[in-house]
Amino acid sequence: MRFLRRAVIVLIARPLARVFTGADVVGREKLPLKGPAILVANHASHVDTILLLTIYPTRALDRVRPAAAADYFLKSAVMSWFSRNILAIVPVARDRAQAGEDILAPAREALAAGDIVLIFPEGTRGDGQELTRLKTGVAKLAAAFPGAPVTPVWLQGAGRVLPKGAHVPVPMNCTVLVGDPFRWGGDRMAFMEELRARLEALKALAPPQRWA
């Protein structure tokens, strides 16, 4: 399965991503190649996940696992197979948080196994313009693995390729900006503030893409 995943991402998704997004990467050398590590990115489109997987160096690809909503990605049998085997998601049962379930357990397990977990702390796809409120699950993970580097990533343009609600992707340039990694400092509020500041700083470097 690992081989199939690598083949699909490298041979099919990568050329498609180049055509549909151009896949410009700034700071590729800052991407962590070994786990446990946490990637944190903004979220505007399903293209975000695929784009990040396709720009990742092939030798570290097996380790990269996007955290994704179980209620959406494990819905149907086909979607579930694709999510588990090709995307290799870490399921987050966001609808069961109220019931007192430890919804971060799969992500913790993945980090403990040495994976690189990709988190979209906004929790859902935004409009592709402003960063919305960040959920604090990412801080809990960083606290559980204080030695793991947390690498902020800004994904610019995917919301134009395939915005929320759209079904047909349209080729538009996307830019992936990778920031410097930082680590858990001991305080949740301070961690979340630093994370937001780092994401906003990357956003300021991204090419402006405004709707008229």
Partner 1 sequence: MVAIASVFADQPPALLWGLGGVLGVLTLAVAVAQALPRLKPGKDYTNLRERIRSWWVMIALLAGALLLGWVAVTLLFVVISFIALREFLSLAHIRPEDRLIVLLAYLCIPVSYSFIAINRYGMYLVFIPVYVFMFIPFAMAVIGQTRAYLATAASFHWGLVTCVYSLGYAAYLMRAPAHDLPAGPAGLVFFLLVATEANDVLQYCWGKAMGRRKIIPKVSPNKTWEGFLGGWISTAALIWFLGPVFTPLSGLGLAILAVFLPVAGFAGDVTMSAVKRDIGVKDSSALIPGHGGILDRADSLIFTAPLYFHILIFFALRDF
Footprint of partner 1 (CB under 8 A): 22, 24-26, 157, 160, 163, 166, 168, 170-173, 175, 207-212
Do 93 and 80 meet the contact criterion of CB atoms below 8 Å apart?
A: no
Distance CA 9, CA 150 (A): 24
Minimum CB separation from partner 1 for residue 139, in Å?
A: 32
Minimum CB separation from partner 1 for residue 198, in Å?
A: 21
Distance CA 116, CA 194 (A): 20
In DSSP notation, 171-205 reads: ----EEEE---B---S-HHHHHHHHHHHHHHHHHH
Residues 6+ apart with CB under 8 A from 127: 44, 159, 163, 164
Minimum CB separation from partner 1 for residue 207, in Å?
A: 5
Minimum CB separation from partner 1 for residue 184, in Å?
A: 32
Which CB atom, from 65 or from 125, has the smaller least distance to partner 1?
125
Which CB atom, from 22 or from 114, has the smaller least distance to partner 1?
22
Q: Is the peptide bond before 36 cis (omega within 30 degrees of 0)?
A: yes
Minimum CB separation from partner 1 for residue 42, in Å?
A: 17
Which CB atom, from 46 or from 160, has the smaller least distance to partner 1?
160
User: Which is it for strands 116-119 and 90-92: parallel, antiparallel or unpaired?
Assistant: unpaired
Which of 61, 62, 79 minimizes the C-alpha distance to 70?
79
Which CB atom, from 41 or from 158, has the smaller least distance to partner 1?
158
Dmax (CA) of the chain: 46
Which CB atom, from 131 or from 172, has the smaller least distance to partner 1?
172
